[in-house]
């Protein structure tokens, strides 16, 4: 099979027939063998019934439905798990991503040899309240990830070699950083394509401004995992050792100052009456805790394997 199109969705019943028809036309015109995987993320509208109807008219259209709303990342993970095409295309269900981009994305993967190609909505039909934070967000993501050639990390329209989606794990809200996940997994040939951004035709956006705050926290998490995930002792052990050393030296200085004043006949106070003594002890305790955290991190080393187990109610 040439292409798997993975479409996560939440309450997009109105747009699904038009999107499915558009994708079918593109595939048929270019002679691609394909499947369309709709991942229904706990929609409360008629989305699943629409998917069932589309499946009856075209067996290439398949669907998975969650019992409740988990989020875009779990939907992508579930779609990636089931994708069988040589090239996997992801797009949003709101018709803001154009299926006409699929042939060129497929060519860039199969002929140009890219592991991943991310879309860049260079001209956007969004208000300034969304575009300005997006620019700041992408600038930060480029700096932290080291992927300097990408301008739009959060674009839903992306293409992957099948090997890539089978070796990355998208969880939480990490869908914004799939290129970074791919890079951390060893897939370094990452490209970009300017794609058309269309105004939303049906419904309303499902994302608020809180995604920018969450996005920065997720980016920090990924950076930490990439740098210290395999060896947490390199971070916690180093910080703990430094804190303990500072506290230990401070305790010695507090004691030495008292002994010097006693020897010189100067006025002195008890060590336990000095606030610096307790600050030093606190630094030593925190340092010990950080060191132990690193040691425990080395034992645990990875997150729970239950992280991506989701309750699925239906599957075609």
The pLDDT, as a whole number, for residue 44 is: 94
* Least confident segment among 215-219, 239-243, 255-259: 215-219
Please name every residue paired with 3 in a beta bridge, in sequence order, or none if there are none. Answer: 34, 87
The pLDDT, as a whole number, for residue 293 is: 86
Q: Round to whole Å and give the CA distance between 139 and 184.
A: 19
The pLDDT, as a whole number, for residue 59 is: 95
Residue 177 in this model has a pLDDT that exceeds 80: yes
Q: Choose between 159 and 267: higher pLDDT.
A: 159
The H or E element spanning position 89 is: strand 87-90
* Least confident segment among 14-18, 165-169, 233-237: 233-237
Please state, rounded to an integer, the average pLDDT across all residues of the chain.
87
Measured from the Cβ of residue 84, the count of other Cβ atoms closer than 10 Å reads 13
The pLDDT, as a whole number, for residue 137 is: 81
* Least confident segment among 47-51, 158-162, 220-224, 263-267: 220-224
In which residue are the tokens 């001209």 written? Answer: 123
- Which phi and psi angles does 119 have, rounded to 5°? -75, 150
In which residue are the tokens 């798990």 written? Answer: 81
Please name every residue paired with 35 in a beta bridge, in sequence order, or none if there are none. Answer: 4
Strand 158-161 with 116-120, pairing: antiparallel
Distant-in-sequence, close-in-space partners of 241: CB < 8 Å, separation ≥ 6: 287, 291
Residue 222 in this model has a pLDDT that exceeds 60: yes
DSSP-derived 3-state class of residue 312: strand
What tens digit of pLDDT does each residue of 85-123 get? 999 999 999 999 999 999 999 999 999 999 999 999 887
Q: Round to whole Å and give the CA distance between 102 and 97.
A: 10
Residue 202 in this model has a pLDDT that exceeds 80: no
Here the tokens at position 143 are 């700096």
């Amino acid at each position: 099979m040439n292409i798997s199109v993975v479409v996560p969705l939440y309450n997009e019943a109105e747009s699904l027939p038009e999107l499915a028809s558009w994708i079918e036309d593109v595939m048929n015109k270019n002679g691609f063998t394909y499947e369309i995987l709709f991942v229904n993320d706990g929609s409360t509208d008629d989305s699943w019934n629409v998917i069932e109807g589309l499946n009856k008219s075209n067996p290439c259209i398949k669907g998975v439905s969650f019992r409740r709303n988990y989020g875009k990342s779990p939907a992508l993970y579930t779609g990636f798990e089931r994708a069988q095409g040589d090239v996997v295309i992801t797009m949003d269900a709101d018709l803001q991503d154009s299926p006409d981009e699929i042939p060129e994305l497929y060519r860039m993967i199969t002929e140009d040899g890219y592991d991943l190609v991310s879309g860049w909505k260079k001209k956007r039909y969004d208000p300034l309240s969304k575009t300005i934070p997006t620019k700041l967000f992408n600038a930060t993501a480029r700096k932290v990830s080291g992927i300097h050639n990408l301008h739009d990390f959060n674009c839903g329209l992306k293409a992957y070699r099948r090997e890539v989606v089978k070796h990355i794990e998208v969880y939480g809200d990490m869908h914004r950083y799939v290129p970074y996940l791919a890079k951390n997994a060893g897939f370094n040939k990452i490209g970009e394509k300017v794609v058309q951004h269309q105004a939303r035709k049906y419904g309303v956006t499902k994302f608020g401004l809180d995604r920018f705050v969450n996005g920065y926290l997720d980016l920090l998490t990924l950076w930490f995992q990439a740098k210290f995930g395999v060896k947490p002792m390199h971070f916690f052990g180093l910080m703990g050792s430094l804190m303990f050393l500072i506290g230990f030296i401070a305790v010695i200085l507090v004691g030495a100052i008292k002994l010097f004043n006693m020897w010189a006949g100067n006025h002195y106070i008890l060590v336990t009456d000095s606030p610096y003594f307790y600050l030093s002890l606190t630094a030593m305790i925190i340092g010990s805790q950080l060191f132990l955290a690193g040691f425990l991190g080395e034992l645990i080393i990875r997150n729970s394997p239950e992280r991506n187990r989701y309750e699925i109610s239906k599957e075609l």
